[in-house]
Amino acid sequence: MDLLNTLVDKGLRRELPTREEALAVLATSDDELLDVVAAAGKVRRQWFGRRVKLNYLVNLKSGLCPEDCSYCSQRLGSKAEILKYTWLKPDEASKAAAAGVAGGAKRVCLVASGRGPTDRDVDRVSKTIEAIKGRHEDVEVCACLGLLSEGQADRLRSAGADAYNHNLNTSEATYGDITTTHTYADRVDTVRQAQAAGLSACSGLIAGMGESDADLVDVVFSLRDLDPDSVPVNFLIPMEGTPLAKEWHLTPQRCLRILAMVRFVCPDAEVRLAGGREVHLRSLQPLALHLVNSIFLGDYLTSEGQAGQTDLDMIADAGFEVEGSDTTTLPEHRVPSPDGGCGGHGGGCAPCGDSPGTADDTPAEAAAVTPPRSGAGAPKASAARTDLVAVRRRGAGTDVAPNA
């Protein structure tokens, strides 16, 4: 296909495709799918070889969020039967992180529900970062605490954080359909604050909320403009008890096309396959490794992932290798000066993503949120696979061993 040859050439030159080309990737047929994967795979291998970076989530504070993000099982008014607990102590969080590091994770992502951290919360997280780095000197730490106030990013950087995650989630035009208690502009501002503080910025999206192809392209182009080092791609986990519980729009083939489009638009960024891969990609997960260069190991924030050893076996069987701590994730041209860490904005490395079915942010009194309207180009709903959605009952906040 001329389209794919053009996109490969642009990806190898780090040239932005046109919006029409990005939309055309999403519109390709199932007969063309393997050609799309092969083409995007060439771009992935150019910048990241056959390495797969492993990341591990630690949910520092689960549930009881005052925000109304309709995709989130921790939102105000959620009836999802998730774990609910307040802040883990630093030693508890460090112990949870150790399980992920032992399983091969290079990055630990510390996440807490809520609108954003208070100064006391930043103190708590700073102590947790120190505890983790004291135990694992080489591990990368990403914080995901919601909307940042002035000076908080600098304090996290001083405490040893390498990165900060805050996802855009969907297009600016449809953002008000999924959340009313904060704005799209609030999210953009937090990403920019993290970058200004020298933290490696991580910002991505959630697909499968009823958005159109144009919405997906809009949010990915907005992310390209922000230029985060890491772009996590989440696929909505329709959790019972949330407004989007009935939103089953994704097929494995559509997920692969979305990942390929993100790779073409963000060729040299760390593209992370995040929440929902087991639910929506299912047996096609190994094909996604030809498009992404990063995944989460084991469980997510409020939902279970597949067994950590299964993740490792999948990587090996697909002919890829786990990225070691002695390897810089990002291509050389994105790595700053030696005093700026290992990311592309003056500090840190490629960070984490908030997984759907959970919140990374999020004030105020929440109003009921209307599920997103299915716009032009939105796929028809596929069969629900509720059997693949399991609430996390192990790991952080429990007495049960984590899945790593």
Q: Is residue 144 among the annotated active site residues?
A: no
Specify which residues 202 forms β-bridges with.
165, 230
Pairing, β 205-207 against β 200-202: unpaired
Amino acid at 94: S
Q: How far is Cα 386 from Cα 39, in angstroms, rounded to an integer?
A: 33
Q: Which of the following is catalytic: 44, 75, 107, 109? A: 109
Please name which of 288, 273, 272 lies closest in space to residue 349, comparing C-alpha atoms.
272
Q: Which of the following is catalytic: 107, 224, 257, 272? A: 272
Q: Is residue 142 among the annotated active site residues?
A: yes
Q: Which of the following is catalytic: 44, 69, 187, 349? A: 69
Q: Is residue 72 among the annotated active site residues?
A: yes
Q: How far is Cα 9 from Cα 13, in angstroms, rounded to an integer?
A: 6
Q: Which of the following is catalytic: 44, 72, 75, 349? A: 72
Q: Is residue 69 among the annotated active site residues?
A: yes
Q: How far is Cα 302 from Cα 107, in angstroms, rounded to an integer?
A: 19
Q: Is residue 266 among the annotated active site residues?
A: no
Count CA atoms within 13 Å of residue 45 on its CB side. Answer: 12
Measured CA distances, 231 to 31, 73, 132 (Å):
27, 22, 24
The token duo for 47 is 């910048």
Give yes or no for a contact between 112 and 121, defined as CB atoms under 8 angstroms apart: yes
The token duo for 396 is 């952080």
Q: Which of the following is catalytic: 75, 107, 115, 142? A: 142
Q: How far is Cα 92 from Cα 399, in angstroms, rounded to an integer?
A: 11
Q: Which of the following is catalytic: 65, 144, 255, 352? A: 65
Q: How far is Cα 381 from Cα 115, in angstroms, rounded to an integer?
A: 31
Give yes or no for a contact between 18 and 260, defined as CB atoms under 8 angstroms apart: no
Q: Which of the following is catalytic: 144, 202, 255, 342? A: 202
Catalytic machinery residues: 65, 69, 72, 109, 142, 202, 272
